[in-house]
Amino acid sequence: MKNEVEVVDAARLFDLIQQKLVKAGLPNTQANEVSKHLVFADACGIHSHGAVRVEYYAERISKGGVTLTPQLALEQTGPATGIFHGDNGIGQYVCDEALKEAIKLAHDTGLSLVGVSKMSHSGALSYYVKKAAEQDLIGIAMCQSDPMVVPFGGSDNYFGTNPIAFSAPRKEAPPVVFDMATSVQAWGKILDARSKNEQIPSHWAVDDQGKATTDPYEVKGLLPIAGPKGYGLMMMVDVLAGTLLGLPFGKQVSSMYTDLTEKRNLGQVFLMIDPKRFTDLDDFKEKIDQMVEELHQTSPAPGVEKVLYPGELAQITYEKYMQQGIPIATSIYQYLISPDVHYDQFSGKDSFAK
Give the binding site for ligand NAI (CB under 6 A). Answer: 46, 48-49, 121-126, 143, 145, 161, 163, 165, 178-181, 186, 308, 310-314
Q: Are 109 and 273 in contact (CB under 8 A)?
A: no
Rounded distance between C-alpha atoms, residue 184 and residue 24, angstroms: 33
What type of residue is 166? F
Min dist. Cβ of residue 65 to ligand NAI (A): 15
Specify the residue, 31 or 292, whose C-beta has the smaller distance to ligand NAI: 292
Residue closer to ligand NAI by CB (options 42, 136) is: 42
- CB of 223 or CB of 274, closer to ligand NAI: 223
Q: Which of 257, 280, 265 is nearest to 345 (CA)?
A: 257
CB closer to ligand NAI, 185 vs 274: 185
Bridge partner residues of 76 (DSSP): 82
For residue 14, the minimal CB distance to ligand NAI (Å) is 19
Cβ 153 vs Cβ 121: under 8 Å: no
Annotated active-site residue in 37, 47, 85, 121 = 121
> How far is CA 206 from each of CA 9, 213, 224, rounded to the nearest angstrom?
39, 5, 11
121 catalytic? Reply is yes
> How far, in Å, CA of 230 to CA of 224, rounded?
5
Q: How far is the CB of 22 from ligand NAI (least distance, A)?
A: 22
- Integer Cα distance of 271 and 134 in angstroms: 15
Taking the C-alpha atoms of residue 55 and residue 123, their distance in angstroms, rounded to an integer, is: 14
CB of 307 to ligand NAI, least distance (A): 8
Q: Which is nearer to ligand NAI, 90 or 125 (CB)?
A: 125
Of 135, 196, 148, 143, the C-alpha closest to 165 is 143
Rounded Cα distance between 34 and 122, Å, is 9
Q: How far is the CB of 276 from ligand NAI (least distance, A)?
A: 26
Catalytic positions: 121
